[in-house]
Structure 1
Amino acid sequence: MRYPAAVLLMLIALVPVVPAHAVVAEGIYYLQGVTSGLHLAQTGNSVVLHRPEGDLDHQQWWVRGERIENTDSPGSCLNRSLTITPCTTDGTAWEFVAAGDQWDIPGLATGGETRWYLTPISSPRLPMPADPTLDQVTFLTAHNAFANGVDGDFAAPILNIARNQTRGITRQLADGVRGFMIDIHETPQGAMLCHGGCDWVPHPVALRTDLQRIVDFLAAHPSEIVTVFLQDGVSAPVLGAELARVQGLQSVLFRPDQAGVRENGWPTLSAMRASGRRLLLFTDRYPPDGRDSYGVMYQREWTVENYWSMGGPIGSADWACYTRWDERPLTATGTFQPLFVMNHFRDIPFPITIYNDNGKIARRAEQFCQPAARKKPSYLAVDMYELSKASAAVATLNTYTYRP
């Protein structure tokens, strides 16, 4: 029986499309769970999911043909029972089925992960475009920018010595800091900058004071772009009243929710400069309770961020680069690329330790955090940014774009 052409086309459309077996380019990769962002790591003769830790934790895998060999155990491969055996034994051949930038590897399922990123340990880099988009550049960021002991008190007198920064906001701006992490607390005087609360703080600085410094700087420097991250301990009405007292604020606020970022991605720097809207304000407060009506965006909708501390003030650092928010892995993406806030500091600031840590920030960014997030840091957040090589790391990151 002959079928009409229209019927044949309908029957063809009903036949499921079977993804083709793909060949993975030979190389060394991180096998990264799509849901959690955790890395597959060898532990003894078995494998588990661990926090991304670069080359320190048996997390690098050499994919050659159909075999997955751990770089720390030459000649030993992952087999179908999810154990490590000689690569010559049965069960060490795998299929790789491409699914966009992700991979289905039938039989490789552990810790709830069934789909994987194969992230090269050394990703190809492209030259920085002449007019990059916001997510392609990196900004030097001051952790606890207000806790500097120059602009005013930020803690009770005995705690005021634990400064995260040693220079005031105006000097930070002049030195090239373009990201500011600020804690705000509610007092009868409004939103004040205090660490852990404003009780016993003799002379705290008001949020409006530092924001006015930033807005005035932007007015005097029309090519600059600044971001403020609020660790937000005030009510929405108090925040709104505080922002209303900052002259010129609304004319420079950039609102990604109104600028089409969800649909079109981040704008170019030239577009932001042309619009005059060059200040981003983020809050960590949930629920945001209408803060967006003031132009303050809920941070988790627009960024990803790694865990905030590398450990105590002295001793070795934890260089693992993993999400601060369990529900949002560093690899999160979608219709736009979230900005990546990379924290690189300890629990308590200690100058000698900070000097040492800041000297290693480029290595951690490029060899640990970029692969963990599958994106370049947008903000490098440090204590005492002037110590060692934080600015140099930012300059290096701004010579290329990163794409896995």
Structure 2
Amino acid sequence: MTYPRRDRLRSPHLARACAVAAALAAITVPALPQASGATAAVPGGPLYVQSAVNGLNASDSGGSVALHRPKGNEDHQQWTAVAVPGGHELRSTDDATHCLGRSGAQAAIVACGGPSAVWQVTAADPGTYALGVPGTADRLALGAAPAGGVHPELPQIGADGPLARWYLTAAPLPRAAMPPADRRTLDQVTFLTAHNAYANGVDGGFAPPFVNFFPNQSRGIVQQLDDGVRGFMMDIHQTPDGAILCHDSCTLVSRPVALWVDVQRMVDFLKAHPGQFATVFLEDYVSADVLRSELARVNGLQDVLYRPDQDGVREHGWPRTADLAARGKQLMIFTDRTRAADSGGLTRDSFGVMYQQEWTVENYWSMGSGLGGSDWSCYSRWYGAGANVPLTREETAFHPLYVMNHFRDATIAGTATTDNSKLLNRIQNFCEPAARKKPNYVAVDRYDLGSPQSAVDQLNGYTVVP
């Protein structure tokens, strides 16, 4: 699936990005409780000082403290908490003489051992901390964000409150054994996911010619299902024939395929394989009426379609996979459209298509061009221009599913092989700590190269404990 923000060549989608940002701006971040004042137990070993508001990490940026996209320790983002008289020092793991401290009203890199390097670390539920200046009410905090903008990169010394909440995230995250198969919940499981699953050279649906030369996948949907792929990213565009699978535009499509055809393949597979579970992610350029009509053509869809909105998930958490299997609920469908975009008309969730931003978090997609070095930073695709859905988002009883993208602008077989072979490394050392959870969907190009399934198998052997 290629999202609007992924397009390098088509400026018309800037308007759509702005619309998404405006919708996200309406999402409010609940106020976090006041710090308890009690000195907290601080995680040992390397950790990230991570804003609970935007998920960005405090970094030693050339002698100043800046909030950067989570990037492992490639960007001097790891610290070690050391107990000292009056509190704790946060010492750089790259240079133990450098501490995350303060200079006047700003956070700063200071010499360890002095009073400006000491923080009083106090607990502030849920799972967050306040970093206070000893003997004062001052806290390490984000600067206020301008209307429609993002918080300043440089943290400051300010008042207690929601902007002064930080995760101290262990690097790597601690792990626990995966529960037995009959007890694990949906949010504990990881699924191999095919990016642009329809652009495979077997089922059709290619456009424009550029994509014909660099197909995202090389096997058809049926083979993908047989191979263990359980997540499917698909682009749909509206034509007189309905919701058609194609990239960018359907004008130059060769052998076009309708969405309902591939969804029917999935439903048929799931009915023949009880207990299996699959998910469709739509990059959605069609009207709600067209999408409803398209899905109505799929025989047996309602038998297997899972509706988390009707199952109390937001109140009670995700169900056990064994319970889903017993009920024959085997398929979820998400759209990247927002509820605000459907306001005043037919809503997609009224016929079982969930709004992805309400149920998931997702990292920005691109690791770079098809050749050359890669960018492994993990940060929300929904952050910026007024949007704020950090990868770390949690609710009291509800844990959003984490969709992790691991692919590039263009699919080149040799590069995809190398990237996919390094998938587990990126997940465990970069993206798990960035999100404070392991991914539930790992989306790759050319899943047949570089053994990404082996990485998914290892992820399904443990849970993480943030």
Report the TM range for the smaller structure's normalisation.
over 0.9
1:88 equivalent to 2:124? Answer no
2:239 is matched with which residue? 187
Q: Does structure 1 conserve the Cα–Cα contact (< 8 Å) formed by 2:100 and 2:117?
A: yes
2:422 is matched with which residue? 360
Q: Distance in 1 between matches of 2:44 and 2:270?
A: 48
Q: Distance in 2 between matches of 1:17 and 1:395?
A: 40
1:307 to 350, 353, 364: 364
Q: Does structure 1 conserve the Cα–Cα contact (< 8 Å) formed by 2:35 and 2:129?
A: no
- 1:87 is matched by which residue type in structure 2? C
2:131 is matched with which residue? 105
Q: Distance in 1 between matches of 2:121 and 2:35?
A: 16
Cα gap change, 1:156 to 1:105, in 2 (>3 Å) = closer
Deviation at 1:160, TM superposition (A): 1.6
- 1:331 is matched by which residue type in structure 2? T
1:20 is matched with which residue? 38
- 2:102 is matched by which residue type in structure 1? R
Cα gap change, 1:164 to 1:63, in 2 (>3 Å) = same
2:292 is matched with which residue? 240
Question: Deviation above 6 Å: which 4+ runs of structure 1?
Answer: none
- 2:409 is matched by which residue type in structure 1? D
Cα gap change, 1:158 to 1:73, in 2 (>3 Å) = closer
Deviation at 1:199, TM superposition (A): 0.5
Deviation at 1:122, TM superposition (A): 2.0
Cα gap change, 1:44 to 1:249, in 2 (>3 Å) = same
1:174 to 212, 219, 226: 226
Deviation at 1:22, TM superposition (A): 2.0
Cα gap change, 1:83 to 1:259, in 2 (>3 Å) = same
Deviation at 1:18, TM superposition (A): 5.3
| Mapping for residues 202-281 of structure 1, pairs under 5 Å | 202-281=254-333
Q: Does structure 1 conserve the Cα–Cα contact (< 8 Å) formed by 2:35 and 2:124?
A: no
2:100 is matched with which residue? 78
TM-score (norm 1): 0.94
Q: Distance in 1 between matches of 2:389 and 2:415?
A: 30
1:316 equivalent to 2:348? Answer no
Deviation at 1:23, TM superposition (A): 3.5
- 2:412 is matched by which residue type in structure 1? F
Render the CA deviation track for 1:16-50: whole Å, top value 9, x for unaligned. Answer: 99531224143211000011100000012210000
Note the aligned Cα RMSD (angstroms). Answer: 1.4
1:393 equivalent to 2:455? Answer yes
Cα gap change, 1:233 to 1:18, in 2 (>3 Å) = closer
1:145 equivalent to 2:197? Answer yes
Cα gap change, 1:17 to 1:290, in 2 (>3 Å) = closer
Cα gap change, 1:158 to 1:310, in 2 (>3 Å) = closer
Look up the SS of the partner of 1:257 in the other structure.
helix
TM-score (norm 2): 0.81
1:371 equivalent to 2:433? Answer yes
Q: Distance in 2 between matches of 1:374 and 1:260?
A: 24
Structure 1 unaligned spans of 5+: 1-15
Q: Does structure 2 conserve the Cα–Cα contact (< 8 Å) formed by 1:22 and 1:96?
A: yes
Structure 2 unaligned spans of 5+: 1-33, 133-138, 145-162
Render the CA deviation track for 1:119-142: whole Å, top value 9, x for unaligned. Answer: 000222111101210000100000
Cα gap change, 1:110 to 1:123, in 2 (>3 Å) = same
Q: Distance in 1 between matches of 2:93 and 2:267?
A: 51
Look up the SS of the partner of 1:79 in the other structure.
strand
2:58 to 35, 40, 43: 40
Deviation at 1:79, TM superposition (A): 2.3
Render the CA deviation track for 1:134-162: whole Å, top value 9, x for unaligned. Answer: 00010000000000010113214464222
Q: Distance in 1 between matches of 2:427 and 2:164?
A: 27
Q: Does structure 1 conserve the Cα–Cα contact (< 8 Å) formed by 2:197 and 2:234?
A: yes
2:90 to 68, 83, 91: 68
Deviation at 1:89, TM superposition (A): 2.1
Q: Distance in 2 between matches of 1:306 and 1:183?
A: 18
1:6 is matched with which residue? none
Q: Distance in 2 between matches of 1:293 and 1:116?
A: 37
1:296 equivalent to 2:353? Answer yes
Structure with greater Cα Rg = 1
Q: Does structure 2 conserve the Cα–Cα contact (< 8 Å) formed by 1:154 and 1:205?
A: no
Tell me the number of residue pairs that the alignment of Structure 1 and Structure 2 aligns: 389
- 1:362 is matched by which residue type in structure 2? L
Q: Does structure 1 conserve the Cα–Cα contact (< 8 Å) formed by 2:173 and 2:436?
A: no
